[in-house]
Amino acid sequence: MIQHFRKKFILISTCALVVVIITIIGSISAVTYFQARQEVTSVLTVLSDNEGRMPARQVPSQSNFFPQQRLTRESLSQYRYFSATIPHDGGPIQVDNQHILSVSAATIRQLAQRVERRNTDRGQVLYNSSVYAYQVRRNSKQTLVVFLDESLMMSRARKIIDLGILLGMVSLVLYTIVLVLLSRRAIRPIIEAEQRQKEFITNAGHELKTPLTVISANTEMQELTSGETELTASTKQQVSRMTKLVNYLVSLARLQEQPQMTMIPVDASGVVNRAVKSFKSVAANADHQFETAVAPAITVLADENYLYELVSILIDNANKYCDPGGTVTVQLAAVKKNAVLTVSNSYAKGDQVDTARFFERFYRENKARTLSKNAGYGIGLSMARTIVHNFHGRISAKYTAGKISFIVSLRRVTPK
């Protein structure tokens, strides 16, 4: 139980950090990328306003989000750009390629004509594995197309994004390592409280057994001298109930202390059949129909004694809360790689119960059952869940077609 809680604590804490890191890195990446795009737009706008040439003085940024950015002749010298002017009268295309070396004048003319055919004012073109952003400025006489190699800006943005991702992953790994190392200390109060609870239950159980034994012995002595009366019968009945409750509590506490189970391949079909055989007479005395469908030769990895205890708990629970004249059904089947045990009982008012709470300790749907001679203590199903958890299986409850069913799924072992 503590190990499960510890793993869950580590998982939830790590997931929370992942969400925070993704949010931070995502925000930084988005702002960085947006700023790079704004820089490209600002440079193109400045060049377009100056007929594809560098301005003679400092120019304020065109970005409303980054007003601190200023573009000057010195800052523009870091960019690689070129332009083409296309006359509307059919004259030759004028090219300015003084700030680019890798693109020839003929290629610039081809790119300008391609952009003109697109009939868009902004966009991107790919040439020789490089991406060039462009902006078009038109007037009555000519069309000016300015191209800017955006590799410099976008590479800076990608480096920042990659660095953020790397730092985020390193931080996540370091945080997880530290969390694993310190998690036991973090949940130490819970571990100590759980341990004290188990010790209290075990000690209290042993302390209660002595007075119960004395009361039972005194009652038997009184019956020997005075005969059995309604009071002595009632006392014996309550002593028996109290003894069962104490035994349940001690058994549950031991189960949660990670008992030494012998996990070996077990003939689940044989174990279920033995449990069914022991309960047939009990079901008959309670006027319940008993149906079984146990597939042969199903083997699971479990502890045989605890597996028998698990099946007995589920059948006993089904028999206790089955409607008068109802049916208790036990099924064991192989479903893909799992062995599925289903124990069902008729219960007309099952649509009024909360099956999700059945495995809570001391939970009983009908509080009036506490006075019934067949009432349970709300501990058996909690024990069943703990046993299944120790078997690394799954257990669930559902209500369908007038029946409450408990489904246990355990990993099958294929005989060699």
CATH number at residue 297: 3.30.565.10
Angle value at C-alpha 173, between 167 and 178, nearest 5 degrees? 120
Least confident of 106-120, 192-206, 356-370: 356-370
Q: Where are the alpha helices (DSSP H) in 258-376?
A: 268-285, 304-320
Do the domain assignments include residue 163?
Answer: no
CATH number at residue 200: 1.10.287.130
Q: Which band of pLDDT confidence, cut at 50, 70 and 90, is reported for residue 367?
A: very low
Give the predicted TM-score (pTM) of the model.
Answer: 0.51
Beta strand 289-294 pairing with 327-335: parallel
pLDDT higher at 254 or 157: 157
What is the per-residue pLDDT for 32? 87
| % of the chain residues with pLDDT over 90 | 19
- Decide which of 255, 287, 308 is a domain's last residue: 255
Structural domain harbouring 405: 264-411
- Same domain assignment for residues 302 and 198: no
- Same domain assignment for residues 241 and 281: no
Do the domain assignments include residue 161?
Answer: no
- Same domain assignment for residues 331 and 401: yes
Bridge partners (DSSP) listed for residue 291: 329
Do the domain assignments include residue 9?
Answer: no
**Cβ neighbour number for residue 178 with a 10 Å cutoff:** 10
Q: Are 235 and 215 in contact (CB under 8 A)?
A: yes
Do the domain assignments include residue 173?
Answer: no
Do the domain assignments include residue 48?
Answer: yes
- Decide which of 212, 229, 255 is a domain's last residue: 255
Least confident of 172-186, 255-269, 315-329, 387-401: 255-269
Q: Over the stretch 272-295, which tens digit does the pLDDT of each residue have?
A: 999 898 888 888 888 888 899 999
Give 412's DSSP letter.
B
Q: Which band of pLDDT confidence, cut at 50, 70 and 90, is reported for residue 370?
A: very low
What is the per-residue pLDDT for 341? 95
- Same domain assignment for residues 42 and 66: yes
Residue 369 CB burial class (10 angstroms; 0-12, 13-18, ≥19): middle
Q: Over the stretch 72-126, which tens digit does the pLDDT of each residue have?
A: 666 667 788 899 999 988 889 999 988 888 889 999 999 998 988 888 889 999 8
Q: Are 365 and 355 in contact (CB under 8 A)?
A: no
Do the domain assignments include residue 171?
Answer: no
Domain count, the chain: 3
Q: Over the stretch 235-271, which tens digit does the pLDDT of each residue have?
A: 887 787 677 777 766 766 666 655 567 788 999 999 9
44: left (phi over 0), alpha (psi -120 to 50) or beta: alpha
- Same domain assignment for residues 244 and 286: no
- Same domain assignment for residues 308 and 327: yes
- Alpha carbon distance 102, 267 (integer Å): 77
